[in-house]
Structure 1
Amino acid sequence: MLATLERLEIQESAEELAAQILQSEVAEEYRRCLYKLKTDEDTQRKVREFNKMKELYEEVQRFGRYHPDYKRVMMDVRHLKRDMDMDENVANFRRAENDLQDLLDQVSVLIGRSVSENVKVPTGNPFFDSGSACGGGCGSGGSCGCS
């Protein structure tokens, strides 16, 4: 029975933490930027154009340099990607997305280290991974020994 009560307390604490994260300024900024990204017509036009060209790019990649439109598609996809990346709403969204990911990484590291310094918390961020035994965000194909 004690284990069940302890698990319920842990679950409650986790739900409180999740609610706090959802109510944080970082999460609010993420939602605001996502809304602007989804509702701005010019931004959505750029995203649609890029996605359409990306499909053509994938088709051209199957044949490589031998495809008759290879050069044109390669130049167009780069131009449209740059255009989309330079859009203010896209840039703001990516910044907000990274800020939210950083917050989640910090929380994960705090929780993991509160259990033990040896708990491996793969964050994908070298700043956080430097203190763990993993050291590389576990993206090293298991060579870190954490798998």
Structure 2
Amino acid sequence: MNSFHSKLTLVYAPNEYGRQFVKLLLYKGWPVAALVSSGRQRRIHEGFGISCFIKLDTKDQDCSLKGGQIHDVYLFDNSVPLVCRYLKLFRPLVSGRIIVVTQNNSIPGLYRHLGADQLLHASLQPEELVSEFEENRLEKNGEEDASC
């Protein structure tokens, strides 16, 4: 792992586009944690080599994460209510950006109101999304190393 890598990036990738993004991050050596809500999602991500998981029951009112563990969050949208729930849970805990990647015309104002820093449309190739991720993270070098 390069010395400029820092805190974990949390990714909720319930669709193929999100999973391609995760695979590219792992290939490039970035520390990634997967947000999962089922055993099936966990098994899929384990197959990519992810060993750090955050399992959330979306009915819970709080999150088991402590502030400072996660730098950035990428939420790949497949359910507006679920993404909204994750935004409300993570905004107080995340020091970096929360990015929502959507394949449809979701409600951008709602996502921004709930704490999304950026909304991206899935028209970007996963490689372009990873390049944007790396540019942002390289600007933030000097932070603590990641741990799960």
- TM-based fold match above 0.5: no
Find the structure with the greater CA-based Rg. 1
The structure whose RCO (Cα within 8 Å, separation 6+) is larger is 2
Could you state the TM-score of these two structures normalised by the residue count of structure 1? 0.22
More helix by share: 1
More strand by share: 2
Could you state the TM-score of these two structures normalised by the residue count of structure 2? 0.22
